[in-house]
Amino acid sequence: MLHHGARVAIVGSRKASSQGLARARKLATRLCERAMVVVSGLAEGIDTAAHQATLAAGGRTLAVLGTPLDQVYPKTNTALQHQIMRDHLCISQFPAGTPIHRRNFPMRNRTMALLADATVIIEATDTSGSLAQGWEALRLGRGLFIAKSVVEDATVSWPTKMLHYGGRVLSDETLDSLFDSLPHRTEADVRGAIPF
């Protein structure tokens, strides 16, 4: 199911604004229209909105967990996690029985940056775990896109730093730059590759 199509991570704040949630849903839907895989971390807020919009659009989604596969966090996403595990793909770097620690989630974000061809940060504070993913995407040479609304938000300082190191602004007008940066994968491209 996930052997072809570019993978784009949509991440951001757990306590997202209504506008941020709407942007996450809109982007996920646009990615689905192009048969791309929406990657996110199954956290509250932006992650949940991205996964839910993907399912609603009939797209494909990959959830990268900060918990073992036999646990759910937050508990409110129990049904969503089970649906993704059943019909899509959930992965975790944490073995069953691993305690849930705060440090798991930035580690999960760095793994997500590795799995995704590009990362889009929709909304995040200066202390957000999403920033770990942004820096890792840049370190790996993967595309990092930051929603224009965050870049223009005077209450946060991180976008300026990431833009300096190669991050790009994402808006309706620049969406094609995200699509153009992604690899084109077909079944032929991955024949013989190790499957998920």
CA proximity to 6, closest of 85, 120, 83, 90:
120
Residue 9 is inside which H or E element, if any? strand 7-12
Residue 187 pLDDT: 47
Average pLDDT of the residues of the chain: 92
Greater confidence, 3 or 97? 97
At residue 192, the pLDDT reads 42
Segment 110-140, tens digit of pLDDT: 999 999 999 999 999 999 989 999 999 999 9
| The two structure tokens encoding residue 146 | 């930051």
Helix (H, G, I), strand (E, B) or coil at 64: strand
Write down the pLDDT at residue 3. 65
Domain 7-182 has CATH 1.10.238.10: no
Rg of the Cα atoms in the chain: 16
Phi, psi dihedral angles at 191 (to 5 degrees): -60, 125
**pTM score:** 0.92
Q: How confident is the model at residue 184 (pLDDT cuts 50, 70, 90)?
A: confident
Residue 96 has pLDDT above 80, yes or no: yes
- Compare 184 and 32 and report the one with higher pLDDT: 32
